[in-house]
Structure 1
Amino acid sequence: MSIIKMFQSKFKNRQASYMMVTILAMLESCSGEGAANIDDVVTLFRKFYKTRIENDKLPEKNDRDMANVDSMSLQQIKSLVLRNPVHHLNGLIIYDSNQGLLRFKKEIANQLNGSTKRELRMVAYQNLYGYYKSLDTYQITTKDLADLPIGYAVSAKDISLLSKQNQMKGIHPIQNDSFKAVIILCTIGGEQHPNEWLDHEKTLLKYYLESRTGAEGKKVYNENLSTNRSISNSLQDGYPLYVFVREQKGELFHYEGKFLYKQLVTEDDGDMYFELESEKGEEISNGSIPDVSKEEILKALEEFDLTKRNTPDWIDWDKKKRQKYAILFKNKIYPPKYIVKMATGINVGLFSGGEQTNSYLTKRGFEIIALNNELPGDVKDILGHIYKYIKSKGFNYELSFIQNFLLSLKTKPFLILAGISGTGKTKMVELFAEAVGATTLNGRYNLIPVRPDWNDSTDLLGYSNLQGEFVPGKLTQIIFAAQSNSKYPYFICLDEMNLARVEYYFSEFLSIMESRKSINGVITSAPITVNGLKDIITFPENLYVIGTVNMDETTHPFSRKVLDRANTLEFSEIDLSNFPEQSVEKQKVMLIENDILRSEFLTLKDCYAGNEDFIKEKVKILGEINEILMPSGLSIGYRIRDEFSIYLFYNKRWSLLSEDKAIDYQIMQKILPRIHGSSMGVEDILKELEQFLSSKYPMSKRKIEFMLRRFSEDGFTSFWL
């Protein structure tokens, strides 16, 4: 049985309020080990009843001792606590008379963390509500609001009595001669208004405006409605927003604290919501986070791994735009504020910038790293910058080509740039990297010229010399650098990569690339075997490899193993009259972090849920192409299907290329490079593809026309010039 159910089974047999009040007092004053000084508990116990009297409510039933709290000494109250609630809670709490401590039993204390403490507090207040509702007409007054404890339970009817408004409403402005405020009743994930927390610490609330249903069943919003305006005007007029939340309809609402109006947001579908931010979180009387040991924080990290990390709410938590920092511990990352909350039982939403939480953790020996979560809207700005930067260097590429380049890198960190010599392939890689802050000076852009005599991977990865010392290759050095600086992207340009057979010197690396998987939010791979190297190296999530190729008599053709693993971008259309513009404004380098390029989806299943219709529609196009390819043994595998779909999904999410143009690029880059030969079957395939592609995909159609002409003239054809 869970500890919450254990306490609930005790509370339901209540004859007075004492058990619930004792537990609330213990939760407020206990240490990380689950022990509270009996005198502190008694003081808080008495305060509860005196506060009820001050707020014009009955402290207890007339025949109960605490009904006369003003006439009782602290010693009398202590005796009451020990003989009544402590006795009735036997099995869950114990009194250590030698040390003067009330303790949660060990098996209970071991399960107490921020989450269970919060839940236990709410259960206690629910039972207090059930007990007191027969004693007082008003369960909440304006006096209560002055110092209302977090977790306090109310019903919609209680708030309606206070505000004198319909209890079906969610927004309740209250104003009299001496008091002005707004009470907000929020149902998380409600049917009409799917309100939600925007962060795991529950300090940012997405709360939909009051609306009416229009003629076509669509919600109609009026931000000038008096109730809606009472929220948006609260900040400038200086009155508080008291927020009460429940997780589902039919439950009581629990007090979450005072909130501040931040902004009004209109979603793409026209729905409108307020973004509200917690003013203080839970009250912290001394203005700081309660002191706990490093061991308590380690316990919270372990608890997070066991109970939170792989749950839907916490998968990819670090990618959310409001997550700015993480704890890095044993190659895993953890949310700092939530871990402190788990360890202390205190909501640290007060410290929204994260600095106090971070300082708290670093003083206890934990490493804090900064996260960079680009908003999707920033992608177009970044692409615009890259386009302008490259143009300012005297090179002209279409914006769509730059967009395709980024989409291809994000889909898979391996590209091939193909074309005749002198078309700017190598320069394109260098300038793209430079535009996002990766240069030869800072070591994040590296040009590796491929040599014709490479017949294995030792030149890239390294070898042991005659003295038995390991001599790292250039690629190994770059991998180590990238792993030690994972915040920023690293680029490798394998120049003229087909001067040697790619399968000879790069096949191990291609296979390792296919083993990539996401573990705890970090993309890693199987280890790369390097003879003589004791350290384990993997493919870093911030490494991008771009190969340039020329197709002439001095180079080697590519196998399908290589082509299936890359997007192949062609440089073939040269406009010699395209001169550099003299008036282009000089552009500065923009320091871009890795998240904008990092692969979010490694296989189709990673992005399939919720996007089924879109992906099925696109895979259907690929299936029709596959039907044409199958007779000649050129069938498409799952790898191409996945990368084709992921590319199109990224493009849809960022609204970059038109859908047809994106598909056109993918046919050019994933399908056509695989087609070559001299058999009549190859010609038949090309003719069928030409008919299938029509005018919707002009780049691919032109390429197929070129390949057919070549077949007609030479009796052989391929994608390559």
Structure 2
Amino acid sequence: MSLPKVMSDIFKSKQKSYKMVLILSLLDELDKQHISIVPLNDVKERFLSFYQTREMEGLIVEKPPEKLAMNWKQITVGQLQPIISTPIDALSSILINDGEWIRFRPDVWEEMRSDVIHELRDYALKELDDFYKKLASPIPLSDILSKILSEYLTAKTQPFGKHTLGEFVRQIIPSQLRSVHFIGDQYKVQGSVGQGNWADIPWIAIMDPRITMTTQQGVYIVYLFSDDMSSVYLTLIQGVTEPLREGKKSGYQYLREKAKQIREIIPLDGFKKDESIHLTTKGIGEAYQVSTIAYRKYDSLDLPTDQELLSDLHALLVNYEAYVQSVISNNEQNDLIEKGIDDEEELIVMDDLSVRDQLTHIKAYIKQRGFSYPEYMIENFYLSLKTKPFVILAGISGTGKTKLVKLFAEALGATDNNHQFTLIPVRPDWSDPSDLLGYKDLSGRFRVGKLTEVLLEASKIENCNKPYFICLDEMNLARVEHYFSDLLSVLETQKWKEGQIVTDAILSKDTLNTGDYGEFNDNVGIPDNVFLIGTVNMDETTHPFSKKVLDRANTIEFNYVQLEDYPILDNNTKPMNSKKLAHTFLCSDYLQLQDAFADYEDLVKRTTEKLVTINNILEENHSHIGFRVRDAVCFYLIYNQRFGLMKEEYAFDFQLLQKILPRIQGSSHTVRRVLIELMLFCTGHKGDVEELMNDPSELYKTILTATYPQSARKLAYMLRRLEEDGFTSFWLS
């Protein structure tokens, strides 16, 4: 675009079409009258004619302000001033208006050659066309809202589980809204009618993942339905759960102050900016009122047209994005400028639909470098990291555990050279965290450990979107609980804060400030862009893992090796490059099961039913699982379904193998019973437990047809070790 700089971004922000239509009207009048200044009234007439013509032809057009008229046909030129003054003020950098005449500013007019005028006209027409294309959505938004308003009260009298209206709100509506051009996959769309029981206030939320992934905190757009279904509100609102944790009084004060600040940042033209929404007189309804930034009310008996509803939604979304950009700009870009840091290559942000393609690229990248892993190993490794940023790779020496971590990180642009991949060999004499985190020497000066170096680097504002991989090699040469327990405990403190996952401190600022690393204003935790992977060789020289460690990690086994996998030699193959991805590719989207339950209720319940059956078996040996493992398994299955990576049975097989079986070891009769009952669960075999306790050979024949074949094969191996050696464990190789 060769337009003068002052005009090249005048349409960058547009809630309505007013600015584009004003420019086109002004250019038409200037061309008609062949002068550099024209009567404002003439421009108003053209401006009004544009909207009245579109309205008459049945084309999409924004409604005029309600206080003036119901449609453009009822508007006169004399009434147009409060409407047209908005785009005139917005374009004050290029226009002058004295109330009677309007023209371009002299410095701008000097550059208005015929080619510039032609380009400006094309620019305005293109932006206008794009604007109306975005509003031309086939989604019957009025039907969606009407269905909830008319059916919800009846639905509340019926059983909650698997109700069609619940599935409509949780699954169908988000899918349909994401097909709207101006929403797409860049936003998280979520609907809820309650968790386990019908909510008084159902809602449909639209969130920008850059500032929030949950309705419990941050700022987002949401349709809120009153508890009597008499109205629905389109609102820009704040999450109330986190602010109210500190108490109602301080929480309400925070929400009101934040709402006031946001109203000063963005215009919110056409939306009410007060607390006068009426949802309910009890419970969270009051908190919704306090946390509201702006809203528009729709009565159930007088819903606007789809066109009007979409226009309102688009206008509020433009305001929302303006706020998001201000948050990003204030919190990140200003800090970068103050520190004198240059912009670097932009990192790629993956949407759900691109994850599968990216994993295919990673597998091809690894294979081209001469390494081959079993089917779904890379998908499993990815899902394990996405579920929890701590994964254990276990197996015999020489199977490529460390290489997998290095090449996986390398495929995402994290290497030794840019310090985003760090290999830390574990020593047998480690007995506390000081070798990893650091220690104070005799002079009182803090000597930073290698892991802390990575945490400090990853915590820098310019690095917060880059993934950092730490590989603890031969992790169990020392007792993991002795040197790693502090990190495990801190990982369990993950919580959301301003759209990011943060933890409690692993090192205090006072400790760090005694070293040679500059001044620290904050304590250092484990950033959400750091991923920890431990490799372990299970033999007589190593230490076993406690359940505390196993509960907090996915344990991926590497014992099954195909030596006949040869490297592919093709000199004509073009070397593949890594893709520099943002850490969000791997970062968790859920910290508590309630964050995902509304969207994946059926999947969570199916998975939990299986885990309940398994837990009943494990209780015989006191090796049953708790909520932490249940949540981790559910998250793994949810991510798998979201990204379309494996069949559900395959994914659950991996979780059974990695989260359940590592807990089982011993020599007792009870251990034998647990192994047999789990094999029956995995294979679907209906054999008699007591008979199989005496002779389990019949079970071995069912492995190839098992529902969960990997777990069945491992269980068979553990059972044989128990028969032959009198002792068994997942970890025996």
State TM-score, norm by structure 1.
Answer: 0.57
Report the equivalent of 1:342: 266
Is structure 2 residue 138 aligned with structure 1 residue 208? yes
C-alpha contact (below 8 Å) 1:711/1:717 kept by paired residues: yes
Equivalent residue of 1:666, what SS? helix
Between structures 1 and 2, the one with greater helix share: 2
Report the equivalent of 2:107: none
> How far apart are 1:605 and its partner, in Å?
1.3
Structure 2 distance, partners of 1:276, 1:572, is 49
Q: 1:268 to 1:639 in 2, by over 3 A?
A: closer
CA distances 1:361-407 after superposition (whole Å, capped 9, x unpaired): 78999458988642111111210111011101100013511001000
C-alpha contact (below 8 Å) 1:418/1:549 kept by paired residues: yes
Aligned to 2:358, which of 363, 382, 389?
Answer: 382
Report the equivalent of 2:525: 538
Structure 2 distance, partners of 1:405, 1:614, is 21
Is structure 2 residue 517 aligned with structure 1 residue 611? no
**What are structure 2's unaligned runs of at least 5 residues?**
1-38, 50-61, 88-129, 151-171, 184-210, 223-235, 240-257, 271-314, 337-342, 514-519, 684-705
Structure 2 distance, partners of 1:714, 1:307, is 55
CA distances 1:156-207 after superposition (whole Å, capped 9, x unpaired): xxxxxxxxxxxxxxxxxxxxxxxxxxxxxxxxxxxxxxxxxx9xx9995472
Bigger drift between 527-536 and 483-492 goes to 527-536
Structure 1 distance, partners of 2:134, 2:47, is 32
Structure 2 distance, partners of 1:382, 1:596, is 10
| Counterpart residue type for residue 441 of structure 2 | N
> How far apart are 1:50 and its partner, in Å?
12
Aligned to 1:502, which of 461, 467, 480?
Answer: 480
Q: 1:128 to 1:48 in 2, by over 3 A?
A: farther
Report the equivalent of 1:186: none
Give the superposed CA RMSD.
5.0
C-alpha contact (below 8 Å) 2:395/2:536 kept by paired residues: yes
Structure 2 distance, partners of 1:545, 1:462, is 17
Structure 1 distance, partners of 2:709, 2:332, is 61
C-alpha contact (below 8 Å) 1:463/1:532 kept by paired residues: no
Report the equivalent of 2:677: 688
Report the equivalent of 1:454: 430
CA distances 1:524-572 after superposition (whole Å, capped 9, x unpaired): 0011146943451101100000000011111101101101110000001
Aligned to 1:595, which of 584, 588, 591?
Answer: 584
Structure 2 distance, partners of 1:456, 1:398, is 36
Q: 1:205 to 1:504 in 2, by over 3 A?
A: farther
Structure 1 distance, partners of 2:537, 2:331, is 56
Structure 2 distance, partners of 1:359, 1:549, is 43
Is structure 2 residue 550 aligned with structure 1 residue 563? yes
CA distances 1:244-295 after superposition (whole Å, capped 9, x unpaired): x99x999xxxxxxxxxxxxxxx999899966369xxxxxxxxxxxxxxxxxx
Structure 2 distance, partners of 1:378, 1:572, is 31
Is structure 2 residue 593 aligned with structure 1 residue 663? no
Equivalent residue of 1:426, what SS? helix
Report the equivalent of 2:367: 391
C-alpha contact (below 8 Å) 1:603/1:643 kept by paired residues: no
Structure 1 distance, partners of 2:648, 2:671, is 28
Structure 1 distance, partners of 2:329, 2:663, is 54
Structure 2 distance, partners of 1:363, 1:687, is 56
Structure 2 distance, partners of 1:309, 1:489, is 26
Equivalent residue of 2:469, what SS? strand
Report the equivalent of 2:74: 139
Structure 2 distance, partners of 1:360, 1:526, is 23
> How far apart are 1:618 and its partner, in Å?
1.0
Report the equivalent of 1:711: 722
Structure 1 distance, partners of 2:553, 2:411, is 23
Q: 1:450 to 1:151 in 2, by over 3 A?
A: same
Structure 2 distance, partners of 1:306, 1:692, is 38
Report the equivalent of 2:273: none
> How far apart are 1:125 and its partner, in Å?
3.9
> How far apart are 1:655 and its partner, in Å?
0.5
Structure 2 distance, partners of 1:509, 1:308, is 28
Report the equivalent of 2:617: 628
Structure 2 distance, partners of 1:344, 1:351, is 6
Higher relative contact order at CA 8 Å, sep ≥6: structure 1 or structure 2? 2
**What are structure 1's unaligned runs of at least 5 residues?**
1-45, 57-120, 153-197, 214-218, 220-244, 251-265, 278-300, 317-333
CA distances 1:673-708 after superposition (whole Å, capped 9, x unpaired): 010011111110000000111111000000000000
Structure 1 distance, partners of 2:483, 2:618, is 30
Q: 1:351 to 1:652 in 2, by over 3 A?
A: closer
Q: 1:352 to 1:690 in 2, by over 3 A?
A: closer
Q: 1:515 to 1:310 in 2, by over 3 A?
A: farther
1:265-280 alignment to 2 at 5 Å? 275=181
| Counterpart residue type for residue 275 of structure 1 | H
C-alpha contact (below 8 Å) 2:137/2:180 kept by paired residues: yes
Structure 2 distance, partners of 1:363, 1:712, is 62
C-alpha contact (below 8 Å) 2:221/2:320 kept by paired residues: no
C-alpha contact (below 8 Å) 1:202/1:349 kept by paired residues: no
Structure 2 distance, partners of 1:360, 1:648, is 32
Equivalent residue of 1:128, what SS? coil
Structure 2 distance, partners of 1:596, 1:526, is 23
Structure 2 distance, partners of 1:365, 1:50, is 40
C-alpha contact (below 8 Å) 2:348/2:579 kept by paired residues: no
Q: 1:540 to 1:702 in 2, by over 3 A?
A: same
C-alpha contact (below 8 Å) 2:268/2:319 kept by paired residues: no
Report the equivalent of 1:129: 69
> How far apart are 1:359 and its partner, in Å?
14
Q: 1:633 to 1:273 in 2, by over 3 A?
A: closer
Q: 1:372 to 1:605 in 2, by over 3 A?
A: farther
Q: 1:602 to 1:148 in 2, by over 3 A?
A: same
| Counterpart residue type for residue 575 of structure 1 | Q
> How far apart are 1:613 and its partner, in Å?
1.7
C-alpha contact (below 8 Å) 1:568/1:669 kept by paired residues: yes
Structure 2 distance, partners of 1:551, 1:272, is 48
Aligned to 2:415, which of 430, 439, 459?
Answer: 439
> How far apart are 1:617 and its partner, in Å?
1.1
Is structure 2 residue 643 aligned with structure 1 residue 654? yes
| Counterpart residue type for residue 468 of structure 1 | G
Report the equivalent of 1:577: 564
C-alpha contact (below 8 Å) 1:438/1:489 kept by paired residues: yes
CA distances 1:202-236 after superposition (whole Å, capped 9, x unpaired): 9954722689x9xxxxx9xxxxxxxxxxxxxxxxx
Equivalent residue of 1:591, what SS? coil
> How far apart are 1:579 and its partner, in Å?
1.1
Equivalent residue of 1:558, what SS? coil
Q: 1:607 to 1:140 in 2, by over 3 A?
A: same
Bigger drift between 490-499 and 530-539 goes to 530-539
1:421-436 alignment to 2 at 5 Å? 421-436=397-412
Bigger drift between 618-627 and 202-211 goes to 202-211
CA distances 1:16-55 after superposition (whole Å, capped 9, x unpaired): xxxxxxxxxxxxxxxxxxxxxxxxxxxxxx9899969997
Structure 2 distance, partners of 1:636, 1:202, is 54
Report the equivalent of 1:414: 390
Report the equivalent of 2:540: 553
Equivalent residue of 2:472, what SS? strand
Equivalent residue of 2:266, what SS? helix
> How far apart are 1:586 and its partner, in Å?
2.2
Structure 2 distance, partners of 1:581, 1:416, is 29
| Counterpart residue type for residue 653 of structure 2 | D
